[in-house]
A = this chain, B = another copy of it.
């Protein structure tokens, strides 16, 4: 048999894997007012331990026992063989997926939410603010705060707040407050509402509101939390790849040929990929592929630059691939992949040629999700469908070449709260967006004066 590997509780990773030290040279630091960011600069919004992790060169970082205990509620997650898909494709490839959709919120997001809430609580923080787009991150943080009996306040982009009420309900069930952004609760929100009372909002505005609320609490009992992009978020997600590597071995696989994940900010991708990037640096021949939408092709068409993490330009500058912080991606279903930049750590692995990026059309992603649903029975999230489109390509390539390749991908989340994705495709309403050159050029124009990251070797 052996179509699935589960690990027992005592086989869960006890350390996170930090890729930083394996990479060539130094990661270009966050930059604030022309200077590298100092830990002090970040203390008003993040707890000390997370800032240490953000800047740590240590290859392995211990996971606190309390965090492990909470992760054990659903981890280790299963690694499954997609035999139905292999058969459908008539491919000699052996396809495995790491199923992160079994978490209580339905995605990989709680892996870091639980850790971030824990470190905040430990340093006396009572309330965490954050932003959310489609709601995956907001609900994951609400879940984590609920378990630790902490307050959670989520600024949700107005258009999603109105159009996607289900994840808002999830947050409410877990006791979090969720307000539409721009909101009248912050001065930045009020300013935006003055300018446009019907503003649909944006992730950039929501970030600004969440940060403003955190820094306004002079007692330091309110801090801010981010669900992707930063180094410590990538770190927390590496449990995914660490477990998967152990599980592949337990199923008798001695090597893996391709590791695939979808990418928005980069957290599920880094989670599945970084342990294998480590193996690649040590000499293993692995193809590692980050899959993004053609409508928001950060890694495939953006330059490697210093840019802001938010649209309003309030964060330090990050060295990353970017389409320009003012870029507004079209309203594709994969809301989690609509981000102008990408994690600096992931960007560096792409820049070093360790990771290869590819972009996919919405329609081919849907077709892949539909095939997966019919052959494996799992309804995946629109984000995840990008990884599956790539897996199908790779499996068909293996068939052409007649090679028994081993392909691993991250099933980052289920699509039960995103059924509109499927409905709009089945009814033929969906559209493929491709970023045109003119729009890209215009967007990049706004960051032409940003400093260039220097990769010290």
Give A384 Cβ to nearest chain B Cβ, in Å: 14
Q: Does A314 contact B (CB under 8 A)?
A: no
Task: A105 to B84: give the CA distance in the assembly, Å.
Answer: 17
- Let me know if A379 and B173 touch, CB within 8 A: yes
The residues in A between 137 and 191 inclusive whose CB is less than 8 angstroms from any CB of B are 143, 146-147, 166, 169-170, 172-175
Find chain B residues with CB under 8 A from A68 CB. Answer: 1
Find chain B residues with CB under 8 A from A169 CB. Answer: 419, 422-423
List the one stretch of A203-211, A256-264, A368-376, A432-440 in contact with chain B.
Answer: A368-376
Find chain B residues with CB under 8 A from A84 CB. Answer: 147
- Let me know if A175 and B1 touch, CB within 8 A: no
Task: A174 to B378: give the CA distance in the assembly, Å.
Answer: 9
Beta-carbon nearest neighbor of A84 in chain B = B147
Q: Does A55 contact B (CB under 8 A)?
A: no
1/0 per position for A194-208, CB-CB distance to B under 8 A? 000000000000000
Q: Does A69 contact B (CB under 8 A)?
A: yes
Find chain B residues with CB under 8 A from A416 CB. Answer: 106, 166, 416-417
Beta-carbon nearest neighbor of A423 in chain B = B169
Find chain B residues with CB under 8 A from A1 CB. Answer: 9-10, 68-69, 72
The residues in A between 28 and 81 inclusive whose CB is less than 8 angstroms from any CB of B are 68-69, 72-74, 78, 80
Of B5, B7, B173, B379, the residue contacting A422 (CB under 8 A) is: B173
Give A111 Cβ to nearest chain B Cβ, in Å: 13
Q: Does A431 contact B (CB under 8 A)?
A: no
Q: Does A8 contact B (CB under 8 A)?
A: yes
Find chain B residues with CB under 8 A from A172 CB. Answer: 422, 426
Q: Does A377 contact B (CB under 8 A)?
A: yes
Q: Does A397 contact B (CB under 8 A)?
A: no
Q: Does A3 contact B (CB under 8 A)?
A: yes
Q: Does A4 contact B (CB under 8 A)?
A: yes
Of B8, B173, B373, the residue contacting A173 (CB under 8 A) is: B373
Give A367 Cβ to nearest chain B Cβ, in Å: 12
Give A348 Cβ to nearest chain B Cβ, in Å: 34
- Let me know if A377 and B146 touch, CB within 8 A: yes
Interface size on A, residues (CB 8 A): 46
Find chain B residues with CB under 8 A from A102 CB. Answer: 102
- Let me know if B73 and A104 touch, CB within 8 A: no
Known contacts A377-B104, A379-B104; A73 and B80 CB within 8 A of each other: yes
Find chain B residues with CB under 8 A from A379 CB. Answer: 104, 170, 173
- Let me know if A376 and B422 touch, CB within 8 A: no
Give A177 Cβ to nearest chain B Cβ, in Å: 13
Beta-carbon nearest neighbor of A374 in chain B = B146
Q: Does A2 contact B (CB under 8 A)?
A: yes
Give A174 Cβ to nearest chain B Cβ, in Å: 6
Which 10 A-B pairs have CB atoms at the shortest separation, nearest pair first? Answer: A104-B377, A169-B419, A6-B6, A146-B374, A416-B416, A104-B378, A173-B373, A143-B377, A173-B422, A1-B9
Give the B-binding residues of A (Cβ under 8 A): 1-10, 68-69, 72-74, 78, 80, 84, 102, 104-106, 143, 146-147, 166, 169-170, 172-175, 370, 373-379, 416-417, 419, 422-423, 426
User: 15 A-B contacts, Cβ less than 8 Å apart?
Assistant: A3-B9, A4-B9, A4-B72, A4-B73, A6-B6, A6-B8, A104-B379, A106-B416, A147-B374, A147-B375, A147-B377, A172-B422, A172-B426, A173-B419, A416-B416
